[in-house]
Amino acid sequence: MSEIRDIWVCAHNILRSSRLLINQELDSLDLSSAEGNILFHLIAQGDGLRQEEIVEQIDISKPAVSRAVRSLEEKGYLVRRKDPDDRRASQVLLTTKAREIGPQIEQVYNDVFAIATQAASKEEIEYFIALFSRVSARYSEAWANRRYGKEKK
């Protein structure tokens, strides 16, 4: 029977190895992994997010997101504008330059995903994604319940 340590070791290796591969590919685009993750997230999810939302959604620290957004802004990939609903916050928006490089960024992540798919059949990959989606949702629910004091098992 598998134990949590088996899953933990495999999950950690998947994340670490895929991050290293992505970093290597993003380097040719003059992007750090944090910059690439932010761009990929905004391309996939839609822009107009506040920096705080980016921090929560991709689990990068506030200072790291701040640095990456500033760098991406200097490189011409992002602009910040005041959130019309909350003048204290800024929305992060993709520029035309970011949208033009978007397919290359997506290809980096797709190439890394393709490596994983070589290890399994189409059906196994679909099952894996469905299973991980359910597990992910469960962890998110558990975190939200604990974070807001609604402990529930």
pLDDT reading at 106 higher than 90: yes
pLDDT at 151: 55
Confidence (pTM): 0.79
Mean pLDDT for the stretch of residues 135-140? 88
Mean pLDDT for the stretch of residues 87-101? 91
Residues 16-65: pLDDT tens digits? Answer: 999 899 999 999 999 998 899 999 999 998 888 988 889 888 878 899 99
* Tokens matching residue 63: 């200072």
Q: What is the DSSP letter of 2?
A: -
Q: Which among 21, 34, 23, 20 has a CA at the least distance from the CA of 78? A: 34
Average predicted confidence (pLDDT) for the chain: 89
- Angle, to 10 degrees, between the axis of helix 4-27 and the axis of helix 33-45? 100
- The CA-based diameter of the chain, rounded to the nearest angstrom, is 53
User: How far is Cα 116 from Cα 137, in angstroms, rounded to an integer?
Assistant: 22
